[in-house]
Chain A
Amino acid sequence: MNAHRQKFLAEPERYEFEAAPIHQFALDRRDFFKLLGAGIAVFAITKDALAAQETAPGPRSFHGEELPKDISAWLHVGEDGSVTGFTGKAEIGQNIRTSLAQTIADELRVPFESVRMVMADTSLTPFDAGTFGSRTTPTMTPQLRRVASAARDLLVGAAAKEWNVPPEGLRAADAKVTDPASGRSLRYAELVRGKTLAQNLPAEDPVTPATEWTVAGKAIPKVDGRAFVTGRHQYTSDLHPEGTLHGKVLRPPSFGATLISYDDTAAKSMPGVVIVRDGNFVAAAAPTAAAAQKALDAIRAQWKEVPQISNREIFSYLKQNAEAKSEDRFRKQKGSVEEGLANAAHRVDATYTVAYIAHAPLEPRAAVAQWEDSKLTVWTGTQRPFAVRDDLADIFHVPEGSVRVIVPDTGSAYGGKHTSDAAIEAARLARAAGRRPVKVVWTREEEFTWAYFRPAGVIEVKSGIAADGTLTAWEFHNYHSGMSAIETPYVVANQHTEYHQVPLILRCGSYRGLAATANHFARETHMDALARAAGMDPLDFRMKNLSDARLRAVIAAAAKSFGWPRKKSRPGQGFGIAAGFEKGSYVATCAEVAVDGSSGAVRVVKLVEAFECGAIVNPDGLRNQVVGAMIQGLGGALFEAIEFENGRINNAHFSSYRVPRFRDVPDIEAILLDRKDIPSAGAGETPIMAVAPAIGNAIFDASGIRLNGLPLVPNGLHTI
């Protein structure tokens, strides 16, 4: 098992991950050049594969050989000087199409405009486990940088050969190789002409340090921005290949219901309608979505339902149904919590809860599927195209090579588009529709009901501090929500952290930041309560118990900009702070709230967040991600919660499931610390983690009311 898989297993709250990925790819070298024309191509092999090839180190040419497995990225420089980077990662709004192209341009020494990215197409791009876990920047960026660096070496070598000079003295810049001694130069386009030269990556080539970046590190606008402001970009739901039918699925009345009687006589008689019944799966395809819906409405189906628990009893249920004994890997211990508690001057114990929430991506799940004989092509908005391909191959009993999954740049995901649902539904209908493509676009209600949720959870904390505010004991149990960022970053001699699994109730899985948001909410709220018990300022209390220099730096930066500690200038005003790190990036958030004493309304007035993820690749894209995470975090912090009962979602609409809107957005300041000496980490998740506890702590500061559940104030402060 490679390190990536181990890493995923270490995040058990990715409940939606089931099948192990099968490393394979469809394109051989001959196809590659047929597709792209002559030129040079460089392939990056993942470290794990290199380790396995230790007996044959060094560069290998590709003449006549099959491409090795475990290739993670590749790059092509064409005869017209165009550069194409290939990656299995998907663009879902996080702007990696731009930042990855910047990286290639930077390392290959070509203008940004000459680089094009081909992404997330299982027939054209290397295998990739998926676009999640803030992994694109720390893993894919260096790999593309290495292939670009190797391609540059090849080009320099070609020029050296042409001029019969040693390559060491030559210089690559502006898409050409120059010989400073003679002043002559050759453009890359000239150097690759007539060649079909391929090389796999020898090893970890030296890459350009962040201090010397010229294209990376710059605020380059989103690639294809014009296609988005003109409406020209086609998302999956906008595709309409010739002859496309619209598909609709007959949803059961509740989760887990089974079909006990079924009559589709009337529906089947409708012209142009395709009906599929396969077990509990019932669906219709027709020339229009309205006709497909009409056909479904004409089907008489009876379902057997099963009683299920509701959101009102979920937290006691989670506690009572936890696995009796957690696995060793879910538990960490150091010192003796008992002793630490016994020696404490103050003890604070508390229980925290987090509700199920929905991703609610604005583009609902969608897929277009088309069969041509036994070959299946599916366009779908997913974060895991290769997993979708494997699911489809399994379900339809065809080889993976017969399935092609293509991901158009997608209308957001936030961890919610890891599964194959819409793709499977469209493909199942298309199988019955001959060669006609079938498009399935989920309704908003389906999206709120049949997707998966961020898991609910219960977190119990016991803790003690000495009279001077030093932490003496820390015991932290997370039930169900997950173990991301479960460990405290503070220095505590005696600690015990443990994640307790609970069998799934609602279908749930990854959500931006995973359980780091829940665990940070509990920990940073608890730290605030401890600071109050110690009679210390919450910032001073944190700093006193913290040695991590990067975390201290973001806290100091946020506090400075916010003006911490601030004096209250009016009633109902309150200030809170929270901080933490996860996946190689660091965050601190300060919040100001205003609580209306008579109505109980809570308004977040200001958020200041400092964020550090190593060397910044694109400050403009990063700022969008950080501010975006802060605003998205407002929803889960203040009011988002899925309401459910007897296998039904009771608030499956934007009218009853409240997401942040313009009026909810406070004055926001994001401070980006650029650490050019530290490798770039991802930034899609960590900036969301400290928002909720910072706001909760500010509400306490304003009102004296300690809120230990997310969402904090779905109905204002007085109705808690």
Chain B
Amino acid sequence: MATPIELEVNGKRYPVSYPADTPLLYVLRDELGLTGSKYGCGEGLCGACTVLIAGTPRRSCQFPVSAAVGKPITTIEGLEKDGKLHPVQQAFLDAGAFQCAFCTSGMIMSSVGLLQSNSNPSQTEIVQSMQGNICRCGTHPRIVEAVRQAARMMQEHGR
């Protein structure tokens, strides 16, 4: 049964009506038109759908929409502020850390989540925390480099 609920996504409130167990990803993509979060497997195994829920990176394809009620959700679309990229986005751009870029939204959201809980992660910590995100083009070394660059930028700018 579809239930009316309210979601808070990227600082905006959206009334939606969905069965409680609908994965958040489909509500974001199909209802709210936020297609930056990608479907890659629907099983929580590739990370392409990663969003922040109350600041924590979550696989939105496995996260029931009902469980997201009352928690701020941030998607890739919510990172840019007043035309200025988030340092992680800027670092991915600067490092050329993408090829087909289908994994990029999820990679960036996972990185943002990591840097919020660990502002200066080691190489090993980055690798550990990104293990659940698949890049089939093999851009891994640049992605790790981008996360390191972003950490530096964020420390310099005191974010």
Which A residues are within 8 Å of any B CB, using their own CB?
92-95, 221-222, 225-226, 228-235, 237-238, 240, 246, 288-290, 359-364, 409-412, 414, 441, 443-444, 620, 624-625, 627-632, 653-655, 659-663, 665, 668
Taking a contact as CB atoms under 8 Å apart, the answer to whether B100 and A410 are in contact is yes
A362 and B139 in contact (CB under 8 A), knowing A93-B100, A288-B30? Answer: no
Taking a contact as CB atoms under 8 Å apart, the answer to whether A628 and B139 are in contact is yes
Of the residues A226, A235, A444, A629, contact of B85 by C-beta under 8 Å: A226
Taking a contact as CB atoms under 8 Å apart, the answer to whether B93 and A362 are in contact is no
Which residues of B are found within 8 Å of A620, using beta-carbon distances?
96
Alpha-carbon distance between A499 and B133 when the two chains are bound, in angstroms: 39
B158 CB-CB contact with A under 8 Å: no
B52 to chain A, nearest CB (A): 13
B99 CB-CB contact with A under 8 Å: yes
Which residues of B are found within 8 Å of A441, using beta-carbon distances?
39
Which residues of A are found within 8 Å of B93, using beta-carbon distances?
221, 225-226, 229
Taking a contact as CB atoms under 8 Å apart, the answer to whether B99 and A624 are in contact is yes
Which residues of B are found within 8 Å of A628, using beta-carbon distances?
99, 137-139
Taking a contact as CB atoms under 8 Å apart, the answer to whether A655 and B45 are in contact is yes
Taking a contact as CB atoms under 8 Å apart, the answer to whether B26 and A414 are in contact is no
Alpha-carbon distance between A233 and B98 when the two chains are bound, in angstroms: 13
- 23 CB contacts below 8 A, A to B, read A221-B93, A228-B98, A230-B76, A230-B79, A230-B80, A231-B37, A231-B77, A288-B26, A361-B100, A361-B136, A362-B100, A362-B102, A362-B136, A363-B100, A363-B102, A624-B99, A624-B142, A627-B139, A628-B137, A630-B138, A631-B138, A662-B127, A663-B128
Which residues of A are found within 8 Å of B103, using beta-carbon distances?
362
Alpha-carbon distance between A226 and B108 when the two chains are bound, in angstroms: 13
B60 CB-CB contact with A under 8 Å: no
Taking a contact as CB atoms under 8 Å apart, the answer to whether B127 and A412 are in contact is no
Other 8 A-B pairs with CB < 8 A, given A240-B35, A361-B102 = A229-B93, A290-B22, A361-B136, A362-B38, A412-B137, A654-B41, A663-B128, A665-B141
B11 CB-CB contact with A under 8 Å: no
A110 to chain B, nearest CB (A): 23
Which residues of B are found within 8 Å of A93, using beta-carbon distances?
99-102, 137
Encode contact with A along B117-152: 1 for CB under 8 Å, 0 otherwise. 000000000111011111111111111100000000
Of the residues A234, A290, A362, contact of B26 by C-beta under 8 Å: A290
Taking a contact as CB atoms under 8 Å apart, the answer to whether B42 and A232 are in contact is no
Alpha-carbon distance between A290 and B29 when the two chains are bound, in angstroms: 13
Which residues of B are found within 8 Å of A631, using beta-carbon distances?
138, 140
Which residues of A are found within 8 Å of B22, using beta-carbon distances?
290
Alpha-carbon distance between A366 and B133 when the two chains are bound, in angstroms: 21
Alpha-carbon distance between A232 and B126 when the two chains are bound, in angstroms: 26
Alpha-carbon distance between A698 and B85 when the two chains are bound, in angstroms: 44
B15 CB-CB contact with A under 8 Å: no
Closest to A439 in B: B30
Which residues of B are found within 8 Å of A222, using beta-carbon distances?
96, 98
Which residues of A are found within 8 Å of B133, using beta-carbon distances?
661-662
Alpha-carbon distance between A92 and B30 when the two chains are bound, in angstroms: 24
Of the residues A228, A289, A359, A414, contact of B104 by C-beta under 8 Å: A228
Which B residues are within 8 Å of any A CB, using their own CB?
19, 22, 26, 29-30, 33-43, 45-46, 48, 75-77, 79-80, 85, 89-90, 92-93, 96, 98-105, 108, 126-128, 130-144
Taking a contact as CB atoms under 8 Å apart, the answer to whether A225 and B137 are in contact is no
Taking a contact as CB atoms under 8 Å apart, the answer to whether A632 and B108 are in contact is no
Of listed B42, B80, B104, B108, residue having the most chain A CB within 10 A:
B104
A229 and B134 in contact (CB under 8 A), knowing A654-B43, A668-B141? Answer: no
Taking a contact as CB atoms under 8 Å apart, the answer to whether B77 and A230 are in contact is yes
Taking a contact as CB atoms under 8 Å apart, the answer to whether B141 and A444 are in contact is no
Taking a contact as CB atoms under 8 Å apart, the answer to whether B99 and A665 are in contact is no
Which residues of B are found within 8 Å of A229, using beta-carbon distances?
85, 89-90, 92-93, 98, 101, 104, 108
Alpha-carbon distance between A335 and B126 when the two chains are bound, in angstroms: 56
Which residues of B are found within 8 Å of A443, using beta-carbon distances?
42
Which residues of A are found within 8 Å of B30, using beta-carbon distances?
240, 246, 288-289
Alpha-carbon distance between A696 and B139 when the two chains are bound, in angstroms: 23
Which residues of B are found within 8 Å of A235, using beta-carbon distances?
38, 102
Which residues of B are found within 8 Å of A661, using beta-carbon distances?
131-134
Closest to B144 in A: A662
Alpha-carbon distance between A93 and B99 when the two chains are bound, in angstroms: 5
B112 to chain A, nearest CB (A): 12
Which residues of B are found within 8 Å of A94, using beta-carbon distances?
99
Closest to A92 in B: B100
Closest to A225 in B: B93
Which residues of B are found within 8 Å of A234, using beta-carbon distances?
35
B94 to chain A, nearest CB (A): 8
Taking a contact as CB atoms under 8 Å apart, the answer to whether B39 and A629 are in contact is no
Taking a contact as CB atoms under 8 Å apart, the answer to whether B138 and A660 are in contact is yes
Of listed A94, A237, A414, residue having the most chain B CB within 10 A:
A237
Closest to B105 in A: A231
Alpha-carbon distance between A453 and B97 when the two chains are bound, in angstroms: 28
Taking a contact as CB atoms under 8 Å apart, the answer to whether A221 and B43 are in contact is no
Which residues of B are found within 8 Å of A240, using beta-carbon distances?
30, 33, 35
Taking a contact as CB atoms under 8 Å apart, the answer to whether A412 and B37 are in contact is no
Of listed A233, A411, A632, residue having the most chain B CB within 10 A:
A411
Taking a contact as CB atoms under 8 Å apart, the answer to whether A662 and B85 are in contact is no
Alpha-carbon distance between A49 and B138 when the two chains are bound, in angstroms: 39
Taking a contact as CB atoms under 8 Å apart, the answer to whether B38 and A363 are in contact is yes
Which residues of B are found within 8 Å of A290, using beta-carbon distances?
19, 22, 26
Taking a contact as CB atoms under 8 Å apart, the answer to whether B136 and A624 are in contact is no
Closest to A661 in B: B131
Which residues of B are found within 8 Å of A95, using beta-carbon distances?
99
Which residues of A are found within 8 Å of B90, using beta-carbon distances?
229
Which residues of A are found within 8 Å of B79, using beta-carbon distances?
230
B145 to chain A, nearest CB (A): 11
Of listed A92, A229, A230, residue having the most chain B CB within 10 A:
A229
Closest to B136 in A: A362
A362 and B48 in contact (CB under 8 A), knowing A226-B93, A288-B30? Answer: yes
Alpha-carbon distance between A289 and B61 when the two chains are bound, in angstroms: 14
Of the residues B35, B100, B126, contact of A412 by C-beta under 8 Å: B100
Which residues of B are found within 8 Å of A659, using beta-carbon distances?
134, 136
Which residues of B are found within 8 Å of A409, using beta-carbon distances?
100
Taking a contact as CB atoms under 8 Å apart, the answer to whether A232 and B36 are in contact is yes
A632 and B85 in contact (CB under 8 A), knowing A624-B96, A653-B43? Answer: no
Taking a contact as CB atoms under 8 Å apart, the answer to whether A230 and B36 are in contact is yes
A503 to chain B, nearest CB (A): 30
Closest to A219 in B: B96
Taking a contact as CB atoms under 8 Å apart, the answer to whether B127 and A362 are in contact is no
Closest to B48 in A: A362
Taking a contact as CB atoms under 8 Å apart, the answer to whether A231 and B100 are in contact is no
Taking a contact as CB atoms under 8 Å apart, the answer to whether A654 and B134 are in contact is yes
Alpha-carbon distance between A232 and B77 when the two chains are bound, in angstroms: 8
Taking a contact as CB atoms under 8 Å apart, the answer to whether A665 and B140 are in contact is yes
Which residues of A are found within 8 Å of B45, using beta-carbon distances?
653-655
B23 to chain A, nearest CB (A): 10
Taking a contact as CB atoms under 8 Å apart, the answer to whether A231 and B75 are in contact is yes
Alpha-carbon distance between A368 and B23 when the two chains are bound, in angstroms: 22
B35 to chain A, nearest CB (A): 4
B139 to chain A, nearest CB (A): 6
Closest to B132 in A: A661
Closest to A653 in B: B43
